[in-house]
Amino acid sequence: MPILALVRHGQSLWNHENRFTGFVDVPLTEQGRAEARQAAQSLKGLTFDVAYTSALTRAQETLAILLETIGQRIPVIRDASLNERHYGDLQGLNKADAAKRWGDDQIKLWRRSYNVPPPNGESLEMTAKRVLPFYDRAISGDLRLGKNVLVVAHGNSNRSLVMKLDKLSGEQVVELELATGVPLVYELSKDGEVLSKRTHG
């Protein structure tokens, strides 16, 4: 049965600096690169046929380190549909400073609610509306062919995918936090139903 492994990129410079990142193309930190190697260790033993990543460097670099560490050369498809959610006017701001300015509840709403977009940015619902059609037209086709797929993307693009796979409601997804560099490995049936899910690492 096909395997779908979801990995959030390793720590980026702005994760480290606690800044809203979104579409801004920041690099990994040294810790982020170590997390990518760690993710690779926890995926050893699995063989992948194809990998998908976003148009952003932090995800692409995590994927490159991961594939090099597990020693697998496979086709890589890069697509902006898998980018982090656009954080609009919050991009670049320090999260603690933003919480002082707008209050913790408003920041939590912008960061984790399903359908409240930050000013000039995307809600999780809007993010899912570009991530999930891409999953349906590209990734699920590979899975249906029995291919093992590795996806290295972002906190909120991966939350969209987990929401679909785990059948989470808009209320349930509020509590879903994905750590950087920790793979989630799904085993799927040929028709895309989840047979098992494991956290590696």
Q: Which residues are catalytic?
A: 9, 84
Q: Which span sits near ligand 2PG by CB under 6 A: 19-27, 52-60, 97-105, 143-151?
A: 19-27
> Annotation-wise, does 101 bind a ligand?
no
Three-state DSSP class for 102? helix
122-148 b/e (C-beta count within 10 Å ≥ 16 → b): bbbbebbebbbebbeebbbebbeeebb
> Annotation-wise, does 83 bind a ligand?
no
In the bound complex, what is the minimum distance in angstroms from residue 73's beta carbon to ligand 2PG?
Answer: 29
Tokens of 34: 């170590």
Q: Is 21 in the site for ligand 2PG (CB under 6 A)?
A: yes
Q: Which span sits near ligand 2PG by CB under 6 A: 15-23, 29-37, 136-144, 161-169?
A: 15-23
Question: What residue spans of the chain are helical by DSSP H?
Answer: 13-16, 30-43, 57-70, 95-102, 104-112, 124-134, 140-144, 155-165
- Identify which of residues 38 and 158 has a Cβ nearer to ligand 2PG in the complex: 158
CA 180-166-110 angle, 5° bins: 55
How far apart CA 7 and CA 5 sit, in angstroms, is 7
> Annotation-wise, does 85 bind a ligand?
yes
Q: 116 and 53 in contact (C-beta within 8 Å)? A: no
Q: Which span sits near ligand 2PG by CB under 6 A: 18-26, 47-55, 143-151, 192-200?
A: 18-26
In the bound complex, what is the minimum distance in angstroms from residue 167's beta carbon to ligand 2PG?
Answer: 22
Its sign, for the CA torsion 127, 134, 52, 139, is positive
Which residues inside 23-82 make contact with ligand 2PG, applying CB under 6 A?
A: none
Out of 87, 134, 135, 186, point to the residue binding ligand 2PG (CB under 6 A): 87
How far apart CA 114 and CA 130 sit, in angstroms, is 14
Per the annotation, binding residues for substrate are 8-15, 21-22, 58, 84-87, 95, 111-112, 155-156
Q: Which residues bind ligand 2PG (CB under 6 A)?
A: 15, 20-22, 84, 87, 111, 155-156
